[in-house]
Structure 1
Amino acid sequence: METQIELARQMVVTAEMEQVAIAENFPADVIRQAVADGHIVIPANPNRRQKAVGIGRGLRTKVNASIGTSSDISDIGLELAKARAAEEEGADTLMELSTGGDLDRVRREVLAGCSLPVGTVPLYQAFAETARRQRNPNLLDDEYLFEVIERQLSDGISFMAIHCGINRFSIERLRKQGFRYGGLVSKGGTFMVSWMEYNNRENPLYEQFDRVCALMKKYDAVLSLGNGIRAGAIHDSHDRAQMAEMIINCELAEIGRDMGCQTMVEGPGHVPLDEIEGNIMLEKRMSGGAPYYVLGPLPADSGAGYDHITAAIGAANSARHGADLICYITPAEHLALPNVDDVREGVRATRLAARIGDIAKYPDRRDHEKRVALARRDSDWQEHFSLLMFPEKALQIRRSRMPENEVTCTMCGDFCAMERGQALFKDDIAGDKVRRKAAACPATAAVQP
């Protein structure tokens, strides 16, 4: 089977590329060329029917929701409810990250229970099952790791976070720098580092990278190069260990792409607000424009309980500067396994952040925001609610505190600025900025929309 990127290079526009083109309002051949260049990926394992989602340059910034059991809480019904909630709230992709219970069953039921592209971290299952059987995850057989990767792919997994960038070189950078305020925060990354130290061996995912790519190509899944040494504290941001892994991941993204494997790179983590732009610039420059999947990011360490808001601030800035896929953070981050309400809040906050970032990233795509503003100005409540990202929430709030004059709201009541402004200046403010500019400059009028 040929992959999306291989077909794109043969000038073939696939059904998935057509679907992405329609969803994003682009000509199909523009999508095909970006896929051929490795600037857009489409996670769409043909073993499973799912929505075709494009991730990458020029497209709407996408939102990922992560779910999964733990060793403390393993409830398949809960995970299915979380998967459904994520899809209902508008997540674009889902990651199934279980480490507790019957891992094959959880994954297969989630795959059957939603229509989103689903990703995994195969190291979780490989180490969790080795720990159960042998009471020591460091006894993992690397052949079993590759078996788990193929088992998950054969089930229909469409993208995988695989920790290929952790190797002896990047671990040595961690040792030599002599500090780490946030320690290691990647579960898969930490277990792989432990395995390498225990067995005095190189990471088999790095050592046999061509084998990893061959498996991903077999199922046309997207290889997401995992960020296992990411910063878990803003004071660790861009330390030598993190940067060593980032350089390796960007290099591997290019190698995998040349082999005909769809690739993207994962990023941090905890990053101060002023470093987000530079982080994204580095990834794009070093990877040749591979899509960037950022985890949060969290620009502060002290927001637990409200880290969905902390991360939304980082996510908006990331989207603004070119990140392509944002992994949500929920209010439970750093505290507990998320429940259904946490999932809903996390998706909503991250979708809003992505929208804010896209408004800045694509200034020519702001017409929707203008329509919202006009409906608000004219007190056209029906139109206003129809255009909102979260109309049910807005309606619930308004109906709980209705004003005497239904044209206004109880924030201002008789002092409504919108109502008085319309009475004073309705005719003066009824025009359109674009048309006024065109009229003022007849030479450019013909090219105005």
Structure 2
Amino acid sequence: MRTYHTQMEAAKKGIITKEIAAVAKKESMEPEKLRELVACGQVAIPANINHTSLSPEGIGTGLKTKINVNLGISGDCKNYDVEMQKVDMALRFGAEAIMDLSNYGKTNTFRQELIAKSPAMIGTVPMYDAIGYLEKDLLEISAKDFLKVVEAHAKEGVDFMTIHAGINRRAVEGFRREGRVMNIVSRGGSLLFAWMEMTGNENPFYEYYDEVLEILREYDVTISLGDALRPGCLDDSTDAGQIGELIELGSLTKRAWEKDVQVMVEGPGHMAMNEIAANMALQKRLCHNAPFYVLGPLVTDIAPGYDHITSAIGGAIAAASGADFLCYVTPAEHLRLPDISDVKEGIIASKIAAHAADIAKGVPHARDLDNQMAHARQKMDWDEMFRVAIDGEKAKAYFESTPPADRHTCSMCGKMCAVRTTNLILEGKKVEFCSEK
């Protein structure tokens, strides 16, 4: 019989849940240490009580950097089969989280199938689904209507939800006063801003925040506090709007913890490389070391078609500087809904960024695979190299596309391979080229 509502409540009571035990094993951490981190909010384990297929993961202090994959149907792309193929791709490459951002029609059929099959944690943005779920236009939706969508997603088994509760009237005043090039680029944030302006009301997720928390607590849904005022271009980064909202998110974090609701805080956005580390430190300070979930940051605005690379650069710096959770970005960012190829490119880029950051942070065992790769390369063991690689199939296809005359080398250097030459000399053999048949 479960004697607690949430992982945080259990941890505060000194209980090591099966989810805490599972995460501790994955992370090579003592369960008691992890319990303490969950109890104080520095680690979140998103695990809805109705997500029975979940393989739990921890996000936060001292743990491996996790990645999230966004997918879902839109009005222009309604193929559920293709979206489920993207799910399979995400699971195959080890994404720890999948966010269903569907915003067209009745999305619950796809979401329920996703939750039933996915061992990865599932996230949503209820604001996206409100119009389709309620079958009302934005102006017709009441404050309490929004809470109905939150409850529906929670019942279905969603592990974490992005709730844009920080864009209240104070934050909007700061945004208007400061002025921006790109204004509001958060989809959920822009919809809430529009609703607030058209109705004259306060943000319903802020006004009824305690009721939102009660819903989330009942199903142990982690709240991911959305950054509605994240910068959408370099020129808007670290401005009054972004920082003003972050201050509000810090207050909302403490209120959630008081209700035993687990919290993640979302962050930028677009940001020059020299600002990233300071932003990570500022977030951790203002939000009391809650886990930080970043989109990018994209470090330049001029690379459409290559934004998986601009995001991976920023994500690696962000995670090495304290971010805990990276949202992938695909080459299709800013251009169209990503196809399956785009999804793969985005996942791999994000996995590289997360892994590089874990090495920099000294996460236990982060370097193990790199050491295995180094030994395989020294021995010219191609099969082992392909096994260890993040995308071994692509590595093998590249190698075999221009096969070398001698399998102990690749076609770049051939018999002049530096590793081959050094190995021969250290084995007491001659290095010969012209006389070899």
| Shift in Å, 1:371 | 2.4
Rounded Cα–Cα distance in structure 1 between residues aligned with 2:225 and 2:411: 50
Q: Is the Cα–Cα contact under 8 Å of residues 73 and 100 in structure 1 kept in the other structure?
A: no
Q: Secondary structure of 1:110's match?
A: helix
Query: Hey, what's the Cα distance between the residues in 1 that align with 2:427 and 2:247?
Result: 57
Task: Kindly indicate whether residue 61 of structure 2 is the aligned counterpart of residue 57 of structure 1.
Answer: yes
Question: Which of 23, 28, 31 is the equivalent residue of 1:28?
Answer: 31
Equivalent residue, structure 1, for 2:197: 197
Which segment drifts farther, 311-320 or 102-111?
102-111
What is the aligned partner in structure 1 of residue 140 from structure 2? Answer: 139
Match of 1:251 in 2: 251
Name the structure 1 match of 2:125: 121
Higher mean displacement: 393-402 or 371-380: 371-380
Q: Larger deviation: 372-381 or 404-413?
A: 372-381
What is the aligned partner in structure 1 of residue 307 from structure 2?
Answer: 307
**Contact 1:234–1:299, Cα closer than 8 Å, also in 2:** yes
CA contact (8 A) 1:43 1:158 kept: yes
Give SS of 2:67's match.
strand
1:229 CA displacement: 1.0
Kept after mapping to 2: 8 A contact 1:69/1:101:
no
1:47 maps to a residue whose letter is: N
- 1:203 alignment partner AA: N
User: Do the aligned partners of 2:144 and 2:204 also contact (CA within 8 Å) in 1?
Assistant: no
Conservation of the 8 A alpha-carbon contact between 1:4 and 1:220: yes
TM-aligned CA distance change 1:46 to 1:197, over 3 Å: same
The answer on whether the counterparts of 1:80 and 1:113 sit within 8 Å (CA) in structure 2 is no
The answer to whether the aligner puts 1:88 opposite 2:92 as a matched pair is: yes
User: Structure 1: which amino acid aligns with 2:290?
Assistant: A
Matched residue, 1:401 = 402
The answer (yes or no) to whether the contact 2:28–2:364 under 8 Å persists in 1 is no
Q: Tell me the secondary structure at the aligned position of residue 351 of structure 1.
A: helix
Q: Do the aligned residues in 1 keep the contact of 2:105 with 2:132 (CA within 8 Å)?
A: no
Whole-Å Cα distance in 2 between the matches of residues 363 and 329 of structure 1?
Answer: 24
The equivalent of 2:235 in structure 1 is: 235
In structure 1, distance between residues paired with 2:307 and 2:86: 19
Contact 2:399 2:410 (C-alpha < 8 Å) held by counterparts? yes
> Which residue among 6, 10, 15 is the counterpart of 2:13?
10
* Comparing 229-238 and 105-114, the one that deviates more: 105-114
> Could you say which residue in structure 2 is the equivalent of 1:163?
164
2:104 aligns with 100
- The aligned residue for residue 82 of structure 2 is 78
| TM-score, normalised via structure 1 length | 0.91
The alpha-carbon deviation at position 259 of structure 1 amounts to 1.9
CA gap of 1:79–1:358, structure 2 versus 1, over 3 A, is same
Q: How far apart are residue 299 of structure 1 and its match?
A: 0.9
Matched to 1:46, the amino acid is I
- 1:103-123, Cα deviation, whole Å (9 max, x unpaired): 222222222342211010001
Native 8 Å contact 1:48 1:156 kept in 2: yes
Q: Give, in whole Å, the separation in 2 of the partners of 1:340 and 1:351.
A: 16
Q: Percent identity?
A: 40
Q: Indicate how the Cα distance of structure 1 residues 364 and 19 shifts in structure 2: closer, same or farther if over 3 A, else same.
A: closer
1:337-356 to structure 2, matched below 5 A, reads: 337-356=337-356
2:266 is paired with a residue of what secondary structure? strand
The 1:7/1:407 distance shift into structure 2, 3 A limit, reads same
* Number of equivalenced pairs: 423
Matched, 1:332 2:336: no
Map 1:28-47 onto structure 2 (within 5 A). Answer: 28-47=31-50
Q: Which amino acid aligns with 1:32?
A: R
Q: Report matched runs for 1:354-369 at 5 Å.
A: 354-362=354-362, 365=365, 366-369=367-370
Please name the residue that 1:187 is paired with: 187
RMSD over aligned Cα atoms:
1.4
Deviation at 1:382, TM superposition (A): 2.7
Q: Deviations over 1:13-38 (max 9, x none)?
A: 00001110111111111111110111
Q: Secondary structure at the match of 1:192?
A: helix
Deviations 1:104-148 (A, max 9, x none): 222222223422110100011113445x53xx4122111111111
Residue matched to 1:268: 268
Contact kept, 8 Å, 1:231 with 1:270, in 2: the verdict is yes
User: Contact between 1:118 and 1:158, CA under 8 Å: does it hold in 2?
Assistant: yes
Task: State the alpha-carbon separation in 1 of the partners of residues 384 and 208 from structure 2.
Answer: 56
Do the aligned partners of 1:83 and 1:113 also contact (CA within 8 Å) in 2? no
Do the aligned residues in 1 keep the contact of 2:133 with 2:149 (CA within 8 Å)?
Answer: no
C-alpha deviation, 1:154, in angstroms:
0.2
Q: Kindly indicate whether the alpha-carbon contact (under 8 Å) linking 1:217 and 1:261 is maintained by their aligned counterparts in 2.
A: yes
1:263 CA displacement? 0.6
Per-residue CA deviation, residues 316-355 of structure 1 (Å, 9 max, x unaligned), is 1111111111000011100001111111111111001111
SS at match of 2:332: coil
Could you give the per-residue CA deviations for residues 138-194 of structure 1, whole angstroms, max 9, x where no partner exists? 2211111111100110000010000100000010011111x3112211111001011
Counterpart for residue 73 of structure 2 = 69
Cα distance in 2 between the residues matched to 1:57 and 1:268: 19
Are 2:392 and 1:391 equivalent residues in the alignment?
A: yes
Q: Where in structure 1 do 4 or more consecutive aligned residues deviate above 6 Å?
A: none
How far apart are 1:364 and its partner, in Å?
A: 5.9
- Give the superposition deviation at 1:54: 0.6
Distance (Å, rounded) in 2 between the aligned partners of 1:226 and 1:363: 27
- The aligned residue for residue 435 of structure 1 is none
* Range moving further from structure 2, 339-348 or 186-195: 339-348
Question: Deviation string for 1:217-257 (max 9, x for gaps)?
Answer: 10111000001111000110011111111111122112211
Q: Conserved in 2, the CA contact under 8 Å of 1:92 and 1:116?
A: yes
What residue ranges of structure 1 are gaps of 5+ in the alignment? Answer: 428-449
For 2:434, the equivalent position in structure 1 comes to none
CA contact (8 A) 1:79 1:110 kept: no
